[in-house]
């Protein structure tokens, strides 16, 4: 695990090769995080994988998150691991929602937004980032999962389709503005509280 | 024993008559109709499908209820069938996700008549704790269910009890003893659009009274 000064050193080294790639760093709970520019995430990951002395060759996890009230709404997280030194490094790319501010937000709006439109391509209006399958083949299924649940499009992915939800499912169910679903239960507690 | 055998032989020969014949018939023969006999056979040789959905499958016939401790074989259902074509009974053991629902429905459709379905546990009966986008809120939304066994998961005893209930249902005698015990007639609930979807007058009245109490 690089400590806080070590993280700043890594940032400086990346800054030499890819100026502007690293936007921010954070070191919390013993976990080093590089916040990188989404446009340069592929270059940064390749640098971290191949640069001598770093060599984070193993992608132990790749996942997405939805930080809805925050301004760049989606986060794509890459958990890198150097297996010789047993050092872990998290790379985080923040993605803005392209449809943000276009309409009033709400449940119906979210559903309409995530429904596949017939006119444009099915990935129109979705946040986009480069796929890292060429660097880490293990990311293939994990990127499909992120696409399935959050509607994040990975440019250059060999087969970007739904992996867990049914193929004809409409919507991105793990987004925070997605309705939870299920059925309201008519407990007296709920009736008293919500009418 | 020998005497009985001789009497049976005499009866078959036609040598018995009068009071002796009457007594023999009373002791030895059961009069029934073919339908009842057939249902008796069906109820006591039910073949469950080898099928598990989620954690309830641990308690289901495959693992727990079929094991020697609980021994489903006592009720004639120890022969698990791995093909829906040979099975009479499907036990939905666990939550049914929306992706699994078409598969379950297809399995049920492939079973030959007569067939029965037990919804085991809270999840397959109502969605249980999974009130979300991925889980069907009750398996009776997409297939007919004969019996619901509550519990999370139900005890093996509960599954066995449910199975004996199903046997009575197959034999055309659904047991409703608890309604009589708790004087709960009129509280039956039926699926919407079912043959008797109207609640009874008492139930509607009680429901309205409860709502007014809550509102007040």
Average pLDDT, chain A: 85
Element housing B10 (H / E): helix B2-13
A103: pLDDT strictly greater than 70? no
Highest mean pLDDT among A104-108, A117-121, A154-158: A154-158
Please report which confidence band the pLDDT of residue A107 belongs to, taking 50, 70 and 90 as the band edges: very low
Q: Which of B127, B131, B214 sits opposite A192 (nearest CB)?
A: B214
Handedness of CA A98, A100, A103, A109 (dihedral sign): positive
A184: pLDDT strictly greater than 70? no
Q: What is the pLDDT of residue A186?
A: 62
Least Cα separation, residue A14 to chain B (angstroms): 42
Question: Tell me, what's the ipTM?
Answer: 0.71
* Residue ranges, chain B, pLDDT below 70: 61-62, 173-179, 184-203, 210, 214-216
Q: Which of A164, A171, A182 sits opposite B131 (nearest CB)?
A: A182
Domain ranges of chain A: 4-194
Please name the residue of chain A whose CA is at the shortest distance from the CA of residue B131. Answer: A182
Least Cα separation, residue B97 to chain A (angstroms): 9
Chain B residue numbers touching A179 (CB-CB < 8 A)? 133
Please report which confidence band the pLDDT of residue A2 belongs to, taking 50, 70 and 90 as the band edges: confident
Q: What is the pLDDT of residue B70?
A: 87
Cβ contact B135–A182 (<8 Å): yes
Indicate the fold that domain A4-194 takes in CATH.
Beta Polymerase; domain 2 (3.30.460)
Q: What is the pTM assigned to this prediction?
A: 0.71
Chain A residue numbers touching B99 (CB-CB < 8 A)? 164-166
Q: What is the pLDDT of residue B104?
A: 92
Q: What is the pLDDT of residue B61?
A: 67
Chain B residue numbers touching A171 (CB-CB < 8 A)? 133
User: How, if at all, do strands A31-36 and A22-28 pair?
Assistant: antiparallel
Give the pLDDT confidence of A67-100 residue by residue, as tens digits. Answer: 988 888 999 999 999 999 999 999 999 999 888 7
Percent of chain A past pLDDT 90, that is, above it, reads 57
Domains along chain B with CATH numbers: 2-31 (no CATH), 46-175 (3.40.50.12280), 181-215 (no CATH)
The Cα–Cα gap between B162 and B173 comes to: 14
Q: Is the CB of residue A173 less than 8 Å from the CB of residue A147? A: no
Mean of the pLDDT values across residues A127-133?
A: 93
Q: Which of B98, B133, B211 sits opposite A180 (nearest CB)?
A: B133
Strand order in the sheet with A22-28: A22-28, A31-36, A87-95, A74-82, A58-66
Chain B residue numbers touching A182 (CB-CB < 8 A)? 127, 130-133, 135, 137
Tokens for A118, please give them: 């017939």
């Amino acid at each position: 695990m690089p400590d806080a000064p070590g993280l700043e050193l890594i940032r400086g080294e990346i800054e030499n090769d890819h100026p502007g790639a690293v936007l921010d760093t954070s070191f919390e709970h013993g976990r080093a995080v590089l916040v990188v520019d989404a446009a340069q995430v592929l270059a940064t990951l390749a640098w971290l994988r191949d640069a001598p002395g770093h060599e984070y060759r193993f992608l132990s996890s790749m996942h997405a998150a939805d930080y809805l009230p925050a301004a760049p709404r989606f986060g794509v997280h890459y958990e890198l691991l150097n297996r010789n030194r047993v050092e872990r490094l998290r790379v985080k790319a923040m993605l803005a929602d392209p449809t943000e501010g276009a309409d009033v937000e709400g449940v119906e709006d979210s559903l309409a937004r995530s429904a596949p439109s017939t006119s444009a391509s099915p990935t129109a209006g979705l946040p986009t980032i480069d796929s890292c399958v060429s660097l880490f083949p293990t990311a293939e299924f994990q990127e499909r999962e992120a696409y399935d649940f959050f509607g994040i499009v990975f440019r250059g992915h060999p087969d970007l389709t739904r992996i867990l939800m049914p193929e004809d499912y409409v919507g991105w169910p793990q987004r925070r503005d997605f309705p939870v679903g299920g059925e309201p239960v008519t407990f007296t507690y709920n009736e008293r509280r919500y009418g | 024993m020998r005497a009985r055998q001789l009497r049976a032989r005499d009866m078959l020969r036609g040598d018995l008559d009068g009071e002796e014949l009457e007594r023999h018939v009373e002791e030895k023969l059961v009069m029934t109709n073919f339908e009842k006999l057939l249902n008796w056979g069906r109820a006591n040789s039910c073949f469950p499908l080898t099928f598990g959905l989620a954690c309830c499958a641990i308690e289901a016939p495959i693992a727990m209820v079929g094991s020697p401790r609980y021994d489903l074989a006592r009720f004639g259902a120890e022969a698990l069938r791995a093909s829906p074509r040979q099975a009479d009974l499907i036990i939905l053991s666990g939550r049914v996700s929306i992706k699994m629902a078409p598969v379950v429905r297809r399995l049920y459709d492939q079973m030959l008549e007569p067939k029965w379905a037990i919804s085991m546990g809270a999840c397959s009966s109502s969605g249980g704790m999974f009130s979300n986008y991925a889980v069907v809120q009750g398996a009776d939304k997409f297939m007919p269910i004969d019996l619901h066994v509550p519990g999370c998961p139900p005890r093996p005893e509960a599954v066995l009890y449910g199975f004996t209930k199903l046997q009575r249902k197959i034999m055309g005698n659904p047991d409703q003893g608890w309604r009589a015990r708790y004087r709960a007639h009129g509280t039956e609930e039926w699926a919407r659009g079912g043959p008797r979807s109207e609640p009874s007058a008492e139930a509607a009245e009680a429901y309205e009274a409860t709502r007014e109490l809550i509102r007040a």
